[in-house]
Chains A and B, each alone.
Chain A
Amino acid sequence: MQKVISINLNGNAYSLDESGYDVLREYLESAERALTTNPDRAEIISDLEQAIAEKCQKFLGPHKSVVSASEVDQIVKEMGPIEAASEADASGATDQNADGKQAPHATPPPKRFYRNPDGAMIAGVCNGLASYFGVDVALVRIGFVLVALISKGAGILIYVGMMFIVPEARTGEERAAAGGAPFNAKEVIDRAKKQYDEGARHWRRQWRQQQRHWRRYGWTPGSGTGYGPPPWTVAIAPLFAFVHLALFLLLAAMMISLVNTGRILAWRLPEDVPAWAGVLILLVGYQIVVSPIRAVQHWSWNLPGPGQPGLYAFWNAVIWLTGMAAVVWIGSHHIPEIQEFVRRLPELVRQFADAMRNLVTEPR
């Protein structure tokens, strides 16, 4: 006597011998395995179940309500092993020319560089880079901050550039591609090149227009015709130098306070944040705050001024150098905090180097 098992095939109930049930279950499980990467897996499985159900139907009649083991064997043999369509495609002769463009659907999608908005801090650039190279996102972010520091803020520009150039992974397919199979760097380079070309063309056009404008009307500074800054900026330009200097002194004060006492003014650095990280954060903050001022300064320097082209640059340099000289002189002679700061600096650099080394060698 055989035990009978009731099964549900795509909504239809069938009774099978126990051994037949094992064979069928094994077949469907192998189908699931063969189709793991197939996006339509669930649909194909239910189609297969439907087909099996219809084959079962043929073996049943008014006086027969159980599908026997041998009949299940026969059904499974008729169904044949699951062949992923991609295999048929790869070895097939049909994908020669016309069919070629459909091939990417069947093969696993190539890995591409997308911005990944899932768990992003700003625009997902670091996130996308991390899944693209298969490294931890925190490492990428630290790397970006370092680059931003070393390049005095140019790293931030790189980030902003990537925000616009790198597409965002919106669909599930794109997100899969963001962390998918290996991919070719050529695509990214081509895309960047295209963007660059378009950008360059745009600026060349602007520049030519501007030149034409100058030829026609002449350069009349201060009259508001060109790109030059309005006259009031020239008048108050030295003010910017003072602000810049003040900010720098503030930075220096905060830095010294941080290194010597672990505090920035009244705010204490959390225990688990090392001093060197505090210094880095401070530097980045300073770069960000100061960048608009610096932009205005450069703007004014480039102004072919009314008679005194280098007036502003000259004043800026004078104020800056005087200020620096005063700070260094007073500091090294009269302020013990600065002496302390200079004494502690080598230790700080050593800690930073250690932390970086650990970051690289630590097994992840």
Chain B
Amino acid sequence: MGLPEKFASIRKGLLEFLILKIVVADKVYAADILQRLSDTEFATQEGTLYPLLSKMRRDGLLDYEWQESDAGPPRKYYELTTKGKSQLAELDDYWKHLNTTVTKLGR
């Protein structure tokens, strides 16, 4: 088992958190999210992202609006709801907390 595989489930679990972080910065199109993630360890494909976005929308974390595009049909632009923003703040705190724990533990 390679090193990346050891953290595979952690990366997967962090995806929602990262999407919140990306979407809060500005309104984005699904392809933008993939683009932002593409050259990181969290590179993701449509097959994973779309179901996750729809789940987050059902949970009331984000919402979208249709916007016309020059190239082709209108696109869905995502943005955070108030709930999404407060969730992001909580997750951010928790992530920092986790980080401190990991750093402090042992050596």
Shortest Cβ gap from B15 to chain A (Å): 7
Q: Enumerate chain A residues within 8 angstroms of B55, measured Cβ to Cβ.
A: 40, 85-86, 89, 105-106
Shortest Cβ gap from B99 to chain A (Å): 13
The residue that A91 contacts in the complex, of B9, B53, B58, with Cβ under 8 A, is B9
The residue that A48 contacts in the complex, of B12, B13, B46, B71, with Cβ under 8 A, is B46
A98-B72 in contact (CB<8A):
no
Most chain A beta-carbon neighbours within 10 Å: one of B12, B16, B46: B46
Check B2 for interface membership: any CB of A closer than 8 A.
Answer: no
Check A358 for interface membership: any CB of B closer than 8 A.
Answer: no
A93-B52 in contact (CB<8A):
no
B73-A50 in contact (CB<8A):
yes
Shortest Cβ gap from A108 to chain B (Å): 13
Check B106 for interface membership: any CB of A closer than 8 A.
Answer: no
A138 to B64, CA, bound (A): 47
- Given A12-B72, A80-B46, the answer on whether A91 and B13 have CB atoms closer than 8 Å is yes
Check A349 for interface membership: any CB of B closer than 8 A.
Answer: no
Check B81 for interface membership: any CB of A closer than 8 A.
Answer: no
A79 to B31, CA, bound (A): 11
**Per-residue interface assignment for chain B, residues 45 to 64, with 1 indicating a CB less than 8 Å from any chain A CB and 0 otherwise:** 11110111111111101000
A94-B91 in contact (CB<8A):
yes
A48 to B54, CA, bound (A): 12
Q: A55's closest neighbor in chain B, by CB?
A: B46
- Given A51-B31, A92-B12, A93-B10, the answer on whether A98 and B94 have CB atoms closer than 8 Å is yes
Q: Enumerate chain A residues within 8 angstroms of B30, measured Cβ to Cβ.
A: 47, 51
Shortest Cβ gap from B48 to chain A (Å): 5
- Given A98-B91, A99-B91, the answer on whether A47 and B58 have CB atoms closer than 8 Å is no
Most chain B beta-carbon neighbours within 10 Å: one of A35, A83, A91: A83
Check A81 for interface membership: any CB of B closer than 8 A.
Answer: yes
B47-A79 in contact (CB<8A):
yes
Q: Enumerate chain B residues within 8 angstroms of A88, measured Cβ to Cβ.
A: 12-13, 15-16, 48, 51-52
A93 to B98, CA, bound (A): 11
A48-B50 in contact (CB<8A):
yes
Q: Enumerate chain A residues within 8 angstroms of B90, measured Cβ to Cβ.
A: 98
Q: Enumerate chain B residues within 8 angstroms of A43, measured Cβ to Cβ.
A: 54
Q: Enumerate chain B residues within 8 angstroms of A10, measured Cβ to Cβ.
A: 73
A38 to B56, CA, bound (A): 13
Most chain A beta-carbon neighbours within 10 Å: one of B47, B57, B73: B47
Check A322 for interface membership: any CB of B closer than 8 A.
Answer: no
A91 to B76, CA, bound (A): 28
Q: A78's closest neighbor in chain B, by CB?
A: B45
Q: Enumerate chain A residues within 8 angstroms of B13, measured Cβ to Cβ.
A: 88, 91-95
A84 to B47, CA, bound (A): 9
Check A182 for interface membership: any CB of B closer than 8 A.
Answer: no
Q: B13's closest neighbor in chain A, by CB?
A: A92
| Residues of A participating in the B interface, judged by any CB pair closer than 8 Å | 10-12, 31, 35, 38-40, 43-44, 47-48, 50-51, 53-54, 57, 78-86, 88-89, 91-99, 102, 105-106
Apart from A10-B73, A35-B51, A99-B16, what are 6 other A-B pairs with CB-CB below 8 Å?
A44-B51, A47-B46, A85-B51, A85-B56, A88-B13, A96-B94
23 contacts between A and B (CB under 8 A): A11-B73, A12-B73, A38-B51, A40-B58, A43-B54, A44-B51, A47-B54, A54-B72, A57-B71, A80-B46, A82-B50, A85-B54, A85-B56, A86-B55, A91-B12, A92-B15, A93-B9, A93-B13, A94-B17, A97-B94, A98-B87, A98-B94, A99-B91
